[in-house]
Amino acid sequence: MSPKLRKFLEFCKDFSSNKVALVAFLIFLLILFVAIFAPLVSPTDPYDLNTVSIMNSRLPPFTEDFSGNYFLLGTDGAGRDMVSAIFYGLRVSLGVGVLSGIFALIIGSFFGISAAFFGGRYESLIMRIVDIQLSFPSILVALIILAAFGKGIEKTIIALILVQWAYYARTARSSALVEINKEYVDAARCLAFGNTRIMFKHILPNCMAPLIVVGTLQTAHAISLEATLSFLGLGLPITEPSLGLLIGNGFEYMYSGDFWISIFPGVALLITVASINLVGDHLRDMFNPRLH
């Protein structure tokens, strides 16, 4: 057995020792599957005008319409099947959250590692910007971007990247500072490797563990923030119905007692965010040397 595979299996065993985190991870895999294959697993296409009938609007859960379609979670104001709408919504929410997380990870670790590597004025400038940005609550940063530049999918992603990058930069810098003093970096310098090569081929892989922990927790936060912004009508447009938008749409029917239109998308959002948080929490404990 190759040492890499053995290490991976050991990691899996370690991870499964916490049953709650394991269950959370399996639930997250299921959600990911549903999100990726939404068109295949949904009972209907909620945005195909030929199959959606306004006659079916606001049907309660567990009902069947005249042509025999069964609505497990009811329908919304336009007669769309809630199950399908949630599956498609998960797709948008997870997509936006994960995409912004990846970009923020790239940008943040670039600035964090280079700050630690070069030091001096460059480092103090970057870290000052990080500090200033972290002193603003995430929703305020997003609000400034979206209020100033208007809503839209790219602007929402930009806002979410801006909210998150500083956390990655701070984490990357602090672990890079430790790595830089290790012998392999000296060895790489003696071999006259370029700075870029040392930073991203040698130091970065060794900083990945804490970055992944921050990544899981930040992605959960980004998904939740996107939902909030879309609910407020500042995030995604109606053409990209995320879970937040579905909840917002259901809000107006709340007072007439049609609870299912906004409750079920919210439950889906809660399960998604909570499962990612539980996995992230456990990963943090695993990578924390003080607890071993």
- Could you list the residues that contact other proteins (CB under 8 A)? 124, 128, 132, 135-137, 139-140, 143-150, 220, 224, 227-228, 231-234, 244, 247, 250-251, 254-255, 257, 259, 262-263, 266, 269-270, 273-274, 277-278, 281
C-beta closer to other proteins: residue 172 or 225: 225
C-beta closer to other proteins: residue 66 or 255: 255
Contact between 162 and 153 under an 8 Å Cβ cutoff? The reply is: no
C-beta closer to other proteins: residue 118 or 251: 251
C-beta closer to other proteins: residue 76 or 281: 281
Give the shortest CB-228-to-other proteins separation in angstroms. 6
Give the shortest CB-143-to-other proteins separation in angstroms. 7
Using DSSP, state whether 36 is helix, strand or coil. helix
Using DSSP, state whether 42 is helix, strand or coil. coil
Q: Phi and psi at residue 27, in whole multiples of 5°?
A: -60, -40
Contact between 197 and 139 under an 8 Å Cβ cutoff? The reply is: no
Give the shortest CB-144-to-other proteins separation in angstroms. 6
C-beta closer to other proteins: residue 7 or 128: 128
Give the shortest CB-64-to-other proteins separation in angstroms. 25
Give the shortest CB-130-to-other proteins separation in angstroms. 13
Contact between 221 and 198 under an 8 Å Cβ cutoff? The reply is: no
What counts of helices (H) and strands (E) characterise the chain?
13, 2
DSSP letter (8 states) at residue 283: H
Contact between 104 and 168 under an 8 Å Cβ cutoff? The reply is: yes
